[in-house]
Structure 1
Amino acid sequence: MKDGNQAGILLSQPAWKEPMHGNLSALLADTLLVLLGLFGVAQCTVSAFSIPVKPIFLSICIALFAFLFLAIFSLKRWRMPILLILSAAYCVTAYLLRTYFLQGFVISTNQVLSTISDNSRFDLPQFRVNLPVGEYTNACSVFLAFVLFFLACYVCWAVRRHSFWLALLGTAPFLLVPLGFTITPAWPSVLMLLGFWATLLLSRLCANSSFGRTAAAGRVALLVLPAVALCLIAMSILMPQDTYTRPASIESLRQELEGGIYRSSLFSQQNGALGRVSLDSAGNRQYTGQTVLRVHNPSKTPLYLHAFSGSVYTGVSWESLPDSTYAELENSLYFNPQNMAGQLLSFYSLPEEQSLLMEIQVENVAANRNCIYAPYGLASRPEELSGTAFVHDAYIRVTSPFGISDYTLQAWDIPHFPRAVNLNLISEPFYSAEAAYRSFANTYYTQLPQNLREKLQWYCTQVGIPDAETAGQEAVIYAIANLVRTSGEYTLSPGTTPEGRDFVDYFLFENQKGYCVHFASAAVALLRSQGIPARYAEGYAVTAMDYDEEGWADIPDQHAHAWAEVYTPGLGWQPLEVTPGVRLSTGELNQQAQDALSEDSSTPESEAESSSEPESSSPESSSALEDSSALGSDETTGAIPFDFRTLQHVLAGIGVAGGAVLLVVLRRIFLIKRRKKRFHSANVNQSAIAIYKYLTDLTSSGASIDPYSEELALKAKFSQHTLTEEEMNALLSDADRAAHETYRTLPAVRKLFFKYGKCLL
């Protein structure tokens, strides 16, 4: 209107809007989106990690949860009470099915960790399952159904809000985590998730337009969904998954990132993965002198603390044998091969020789906490070391994700055992088991790349290494040990092996400079070329000079060491020292290793090394026993013998506590919303009475009511006049003031009760 003094009604420009709720097309679009997202997540997880489930049961659960939560989030009233009831029902059901729920969690976790381990260099733990194999599918189905309950609630909430970013945040990890470890889920599940995200993103544009969440928005979403589906199907046809390969640049970037992760200090020092020793990056070393282990040994004998044994030589690394190679062997063993010497001497030792049974206490200060540093002659059996797993014949790893910092082991002092053992006196079970393992060692621990084997055999002939069949194994071992000690110069700065070159070949025939990793690898390769079972080993050395008066030894990082292992019938694997300048019994260490703290070298790698390398048992001492007889082995399956009973109680406690907290929070939200609704009802006087009742509730906690508020409450109760807006605002202000002032004066415990118990704020 042009005349500002004229009275009249000013109307804004008309706009056409439809109701926000109750739109069938929008609800149908949301239903299809939620089903697409939930089915994509479920199939993606199950297919990527091979989790055993019942597809029909899981599909029914997904559909039921989707329809249920979409219906709830479409309600204008009673939404919170229904969610509270569902949460209570969830907690009750979880308790009734707690066995399946907890065991399903363990089985699913094992599958995820196992798949990641198979597709990475991580050596992740496995947990013991206390359920028959036939029940695995039922347990996993129940567990995933419980997970999908919460996920369905979240996805339905995000979709009803048409929030692309919230939906992406809740569903993307289920695809990105497997892809991060180059694990490809089933392609249909990937298409489902891509379709879910693309449709939600495009329809969100309509949801934010002037139409709002209208029938038009719903129709757009319904049109976008098939269009996106057609695009994804066309992409699948044009780029078949069975023929697709990553571009070289992308693959190179992935390898560089992976290499950076595995070479980082996070994994190389305290949390390193087990199962592999990389040789292609074994370059220069330096040390800080930091104490990494504290060892208590009352007998003060020198020790090799074994952490890992490399079985397969690839030219650039030492790897573990595949699990499948142990399947037939373990049926022939009744104890673990790492316990062979302990098992033998427990049969054979005389009462006066029991003093040779040592008790070694190890405190892990800053070493890799994923493994157990164990002495040779180990007498402690797998069932005696809770929280650990004997990984076949190679090493002992910790099952706890946080590692073990303090443990005690029993071991025999084999080098000081006073007499040779007549294996004919050993029981038949041990004799048969040892024979089975000896055959296994002769098969798998003499393998080498063929070109390297031929070159090393020629080299041994040229330098005069005797033939094992005529001179005996002991003579060959002794000759090779001496040859390796004099085959190169000890240094912590040998440089790295050129790309494409064999590590041992480059060290022996060209560079001839290195530290313990080089000498040990060369010795194992030479022994294998002569048909003698040998392995690469690494860990820490404890010399006789390291102990104090009470038998404690502080082991610094420069005591990290690598050595060779030779199989001795009856005793199992025994250390063989081949690094020059190392003598464990006298505490002699290579002087360059002592000076290494001041050298300007590159950062040390995770594999063992150091010049503080201990003296290993010589061929003579390692043959203190004649041909023994049997070996045995505990059944070492891929699953770690972790006692899950304690974890069950912890998870149950966390679940109960979490459910209780959730119920408390939901109850508070519900009561606050109901109170606000009463404060702003259509009947103004009834709202005023509700506010005054709230004020009287506050007085029980020490609040005071303004006299004017009492006046207004009486007026609302007994007068026929309706309170004005100013009077209602005065009442609300007094209630807000009284609540906050009372809350500030309460102690911490009463504050919690005031806020979450009485729900007065």
Structure 2
Amino acid sequence: MKRKNSQNMNGISISDSIVMSVKRKNANYRKPFSSLIAVIGFTSILMSFFGMFSFRFNGKTVAAAAIGFSIFYLILSLIGKRALWIYAASVAAFVAYAYKKSALISMGFKFVYNIIYKASYHTEINYYKAVIKSSEIKSVTTLFVFYVWLLAIVLYFFTICRPNPVLPLMITFPLLELGMYNGIEVPILWGMLCIAYWLSLLAMSTIDVGEYSGGQSGFVRKNNLFFPKRHMKLKVTEKCGILIIASVMLITGISYGFLRVTHYKRSEKLNEKRRDITEAMNDFTFENLAESLSNLTSAFGIDFEYENHKLGNNDHVRYKNVTDLTVTIERPVSGAIYLKDYAGSVYKKNEWFKLPKKAYKNKIFDDFKEYDIYPQDFPAVLAKLIYDGNDNTIWIKTSTKKSSHVYAPYGTENFGGLSYNKDLTISPVGGKKGEASYKFFPVDIDTISKEVEAINQSNHDLREVFSTSEIRDKQCREKVLKYCTENNLITYDDFFSIDYDIPYNRQYVLDNGDTIMAQLLQNSYKDFVYKNYLDVPNTKAIQEVKEAYSDILKGDISTVKGRIDILTAIKKKMQAECTYSLYPRKTPSNRDFVNYFLLENHKGYCQHFATSGVILARMAGIPARYATGYIIVEDDVAAGQKHSDNSVTVEVKDNRSHAWAEIYLDGIGWIPFEFTAGYSAKEINTDPTQPTEATTATTVTTHTQAQTETRTTISSASATIGKRTTITNSQTTQTVTSVKVVTGIGKGKGKAISKTLKYILQLIIILVIAALIILARRYFILKNREKKFTSGKTPSRVKNIYSYSEKLLASMQLKSVNGNYKAFAEEVEKKLAGDYFEAGSFEKLTDIALKACYGQGVPDEEELKICKKTVDDISAKIYSKSDFIQKLKIKFINVLR
């Protein structure tokens, strides 16, 4: 056809020739590609899960269900909109039938979780005990059939009909995470196919964002002819999904082949860092979120300290043979030295807590402060009476990691400069951080037993009468008289009486009035102790423990000897029935920690023995509480560095971190009592060994529960830690794989939360993550838009601004037709000018954009400012006139502002 050219005043050439562009027709493989991706996802998820665990179920039934549902929903998805009503009906049928079979599905879940639990923690103990063995195959088969049904519904629809990764990830990722979380090895082929499917689905749902509608407009130039480009879909998403799957599997195959051929081995340093990160990720739980975050940040080299006193969260315990404390003792002592930094008073839901604040409003604590004598001082008062002159001095220096902790021995003497934390712990006032020194009198349970035995043999009266006038020190005499008068302890004239359980020299007591004052305060403090330190949970699990140990809980607790006899009997029975182990496995979340240790698992370390000992002592009527810190035994002192002045320096390793029981004995105070098997005053001989179960997943824990046992969990599907920990009697030597860990430090306060609240918290966290993803998407889109507006060549910047204006106007249902931009500009001016922007601004924007597109000059900065101001005005006005929901859509979905 003859072409006639003309040129208008704007310099734009117009041709009246007819140009026809015919797109070459290609075969459409979108449906086959999406179907293949869906089948890959469906198959790989099931094969990965069944490849991790061994379940008892009817395999033929589940396989038939998988094939049948897969074919059915694949056909429905390929049909598309015409079959949506069938899809909806099948979903309704699924819900109704699942409700009908809910009891069987629930039972099947319990069987499945028991298998997962036993495989994950290498134990033969079931998580759910109330299961009927004969119904296992039927219930598990039913559960799997319904899961296969649900999987088919979600995967085929959200892969073929409406590509979206949210629901498919929600029902597939937890299935694999059940195994990966606990270190179960996933079959490599199927596991990588799962990952490839997730990536493919993610790409399919995001790769064409902005291309279907409101996409970038512009012109395509062919020689000297320009054709309008309108919202064209440039990519075939399903093809991209197939390419991603192929790429992932190709890389997997090449990597696997390379490693096999070269026999590549990672360096130990790289292995260590990999284990740190893997164990932190595998050990992450919402129930223990703060400590999980602490371990995770530590794995990446950032120390976030946190401490709590939860029990049973640790799978293993491992020590690293590092020095946590450096202790110097003025002269060697006999017996063990316990260095305490925490005392737990309330046992509830597998965790130790402090007493509530209202408990400390008792008047006795005001008396402690007024007379400057505290429960922490009572053992020293006792020790002076038994063996005066046996005082000692200890200097404690903590490592950098432990510098925020303060440790103190029992029997410290109140010589001033000490700060008292209620009736729990002490710390020096002032001084250098991480360093402390105390004058103390060693308090030993064996010595106390011998002295008490002497009282029993002499039939000594346990009540003595004094007169305040007999006290020689005037200041002490006035204190005693004031206290006795205020508490109605004066019997007649100035006489008063004291109950005691230990022998003493009467003249010594009268010469040291503070001893009488301490004994008077202790007689009052006993009421507080018996009120607050005998409580045990009123649960069925604790009642079962009480019944199992009832034969030794009954005895004479009216004397110190009688109490020690009961405690010794508890210790012997625990040690006879339970084994010391650094590999006790986690306590199931539906079990009581004490019940599980004493009656089911029978394996544990100091934390288990100490907590159980405290609970059993309370059942017997003996006040007790839980304490943590470090222990130094005679062998440690003997192996220490001796100095010319007879002092000894001991490097206290992390394997001496410990938990023990504190027992309150009338007239004596709080003293340590050792329940843990293998621990004595002379030596520690626990001979911890690894479990015999073969596993490639090793969990390692150094527990924070004892304040210094730092928790970590190592679960690796590709590396086995084969080194053992060995503890000798005289000198501690350990061969371990070094692991960087963080000690959690904090307040340790809080209440156990219900399962419902846990689920709510998990939902909140999921919502927060989703919100963060939305905010991140918004941030990157805005950044990208700003970059397009401010950088690059000027014509391109103008085109981007005009494209953005089209998106804004499209949200108001204003779109240009057939690329007639001038007519569209006139229409926009007519409808919006004066309200959304200054009159003539949009026509000016259109003219500048056309000039840039046709190469009829380069817009200057002033023109760019006009364009930018116009779209900003339109955006601001649209936003201000929208309701709340529309504003959210504009900002976070369409990201138009």
TM-score greater than 0.5 by the shorter chain: no
Whose radius of gyration is greater, 1 or 2?
2
So what's the TM-score if we normalise by structure 2?
A: 0.36
